Amino acid sequence: MTGRIFIWVGHPRATSLSHGLADAYQAAAVAAGAEVRRMNLSDMDFDPDLTEGYHSRKTLEPCLEEWRENTVWANHLVWAYPQWWGSMPAKMKGVIDRCFLPGFAMAYHEKGPWWDRLLAGRSADIFMTSDAPVVWDALSYRRAAKHQVERPVLNFAGIKPFRTFQFGPVKGTKQEKIDKWLSRASQRGGQVAKRLAKA
C-alpha cells in the first residue's frame, strides 16, 4: 500500500527550522514512494477562535476544510512546530480548536463519559523545536508540550502510534548540529514511507 502522508508545518512564520525539518522529511518520504500532501500554517487564513465552544458551530474557512480533508485522506500525519511557552503557537492551536470537533475527531456517547475515536487508523510524527534544552524541558516542565499534543489531542482522537522528536536548544546552536536534526527528519521520513508501503 502506498503511504499517504499529510505534513503540516505549524509555525506562523513563512520560514523556520520547522519548515526545514518538514522539507527534509517530505523529500525522503517522496523518494521512498509515499504520496505527500502539505500545508503551512503561515498560508492559512482563518478565525482561530472557537467562540461558542461546541454549542454553536462556525462555518469552516476553505483552508480548514482542506486541512480536514488532508487529515482524513492520510494514513500518517506529520506536525512540525516550535514549542512556545510550554505549548504550541496560538494560531496552530486555533486550527485544532476549529477542526477537531465532535463528528470529526471524536463522537461522544449519549450516555456515560466515553467517546469514539474517529481518526483511528492513523499514525503520527511530531517534530518540535525549542530554545530550552530537551533535558531542561524534561526536568523543569516534565515535557508538558509533548504530553499536550500526544495525550489530549492525538490519542484522544485515536491517532496512534505516535512519536515525538524534540530538538533544542535552537538558539545559538551551530549549523553542524542543525544539519544532524535535518538528517534525522530525512531518515524518519524514509523509514515511515517504507513502513507504510509494507502495511
**DSSP letter at 59?**
P
How far is it, in rounded angstroms, from Cα 10 to Cα 89? 7
pLDDT at position 2 is: 84
Predicted confidence band at 15 (pLDDT cuts at 50, 70, 90)? Answer: very high
Predicted confidence band at 196 (pLDDT cuts at 50, 70, 90)? Answer: very high
| 136-148 residue pLDDT tens | 888 888 888 899 9
Predicted confidence band at 57 (pLDDT cuts at 50, 70, 90)? Answer: confident
167, 8 in Cβ contact below 8 A? no
The DSSP H or E segment spanning 106 is strand 106-108
Report the DSSP beta bridge partners of residue 123. 76
**What percent of the chain has a predicted confidence (pLDDT) above 90?**
85
The DSSP H or E segment spanning 196 is helix 175-198
145, 88 in Cβ contact below 8 A? yes
Predicted confidence band at 186 (pLDDT cuts at 50, 70, 90)? Answer: very high
pLDDT at position 55 is: 85
Report the DSSP beta bridge partners of residue 81. 128
Predicted confidence band at 49 (pLDDT cuts at 50, 70, 90)? Answer: very high
Q: Identify the burial level of 126 via C-beta atoms within 10 angstroms of its C-beta, where 0-12 means exposed, 13-18 middle and 19 or more buried.
A: buried
Residue positions counted in the chain? 199
**DSSP letter at 60?**
P
pLDDT at position 4 is: 98
Report the DSSP beta bridge partners of residue 167. 129
pLDDT at position 134 is: 82
pLDDT at 101 over 90: yes
pLDDT at 1 over 80: no
**What percent of the chain has a predicted confidence (pLDDT) above 70?**
100
Cell of 156: 484522544
Locate cell 527528519: which residue?
A: 185
pLDDT at 80 over 80: yes
* Domains, the chain, with CATH or none: 4-198 (3.40.50.360)
| 102-132 residue pLDDT tens | 999 999 998 888 999 999 999 999 999 999 8
Report the DSSP beta bridge partners of residue 102. 106
Radius of gyration over every alpha carbon of the chain, rounded to an integer in angstroms:
17
β-sheet with 35-40: strand ranges across: 35-40, 4-9, 76-82, 123-129, 162-167
82, 89 in Cβ contact below 8 A? yes
Mean pLDDT of the chain: 95
pLDDT at position 121 is: 97
| 144-181 residue pLDDT tens | 889 999 999 999 999 999 999 999 999 999 999 999 99
pLDDT at position 142 is: 85
